[in-house]
């Protein structure tokens, strides 16, 4: 298969498996999405979805959020991990949204990345899922799968994002990044991986990855 045929195989397989694409993090507007994505760093979406209702019951907009202290926010979000940094970020960005953006989440990568605790990946998720702007946020699942599929050298997430954007059509980015995440969780996890169920890696996967898998199975 040529690189182009491999890319088309990935796209077609993912659209067959996930014609309807659920959004992993529960939210009702750009602000609650921004907070949920920030909280998901080094945590699971399942855990974040358990905690965000407790936080949003107290404050689901920046005006109510800054009425809480950083310590109060931290107490609520403690189960998601990294709560000291995340609580400061949530309080700090809520203050900036009010002071600089009339309480609204800005619709640009630059303005989002200027907010406390908001990196490029968080900004990309918000731009893509809240505003429909083409973006390709790379999480650990996408990074792992792009390497397994021999579509990137996997040196770092920055390179993986560049390669994904170069290989996949821009109009599909917003769907594809979510489809790959769901596929990674379901068929190509980091642990407990069964190559027989992972049709994409089995068909187009990096030879060294497949050989290492087979060696481990034999040992």
Active-site residue numbers?
121, 139
Cα distance between residue 24 and residue 46, in whole Å: 8
Q: How many other CB atoms are there within 10 angstroms of residue 169's CB atom?
A: 11
What DSSP state is assigned to residue 41?
T
With a CB cutoff of 8 Å and minimum separation 6, the contacts of 34 are 93, 105, 112, 118, 122, 126, 130
Q: How many other CB atoms are there within 10 angstroms of residue 216's CB atom?
A: 9
Cα distance between residue 68 and residue 181, in whole Å: 34
What six digits make up the tokens of 21? 């694409």
With a CB cutoff of 8 Å and minimum separation 6, the contacts of 207 are 150
Note whether 144 and 157 are within 8 A (CB). Answer: no
Q: Which residue has the tokens 């169920």?
A: 197
């Amino acid at each position: 298969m040529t690189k182009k045929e491999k890319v088309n195989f990935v796209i077609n397989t993912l659209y067959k498996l996930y014609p309807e694409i659920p959004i992993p993090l529960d939210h009702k507007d750009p602000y609650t999405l921004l907070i949920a994505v920030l909280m998901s760093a080094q945590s699971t979406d399942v855990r974040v979805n358990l905690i965000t209702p407790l936080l949003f019951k107290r404050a689901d907009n920046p005006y109510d959020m800054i009425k809480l202290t950083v310590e109060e926010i931290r107490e609520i979000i403690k189960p998601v991990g990294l709560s000291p940094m995340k609580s400061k970020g949530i309080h700090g960005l809520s203050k900036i949204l009010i002071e600089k953006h009339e309480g609204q989440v800005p619709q640009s990568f630059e303005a989002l990345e200027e907010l406390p605790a908001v990196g490029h990946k968080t900004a990309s998720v918000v731009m893509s899922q809240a505003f429909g702007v083409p973006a390709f946020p790379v999480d650990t699942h996408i990074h792992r799968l792009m390497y397994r599929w021999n579509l990137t050298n996997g040196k770092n997430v920055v390179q993986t994002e560049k390669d994904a954007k170069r290989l996949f059509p821009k109009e599909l980015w917003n769907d594809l990044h979510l489809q790959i995440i769901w596929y990674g969780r379901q068929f190509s996890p980091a642990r407990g991986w069964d190559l027989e169920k992972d049709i994409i890696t089995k068909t187009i996967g990096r030879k060294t990855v497949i050989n290492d898998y087979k060696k481990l199975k034999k040992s």
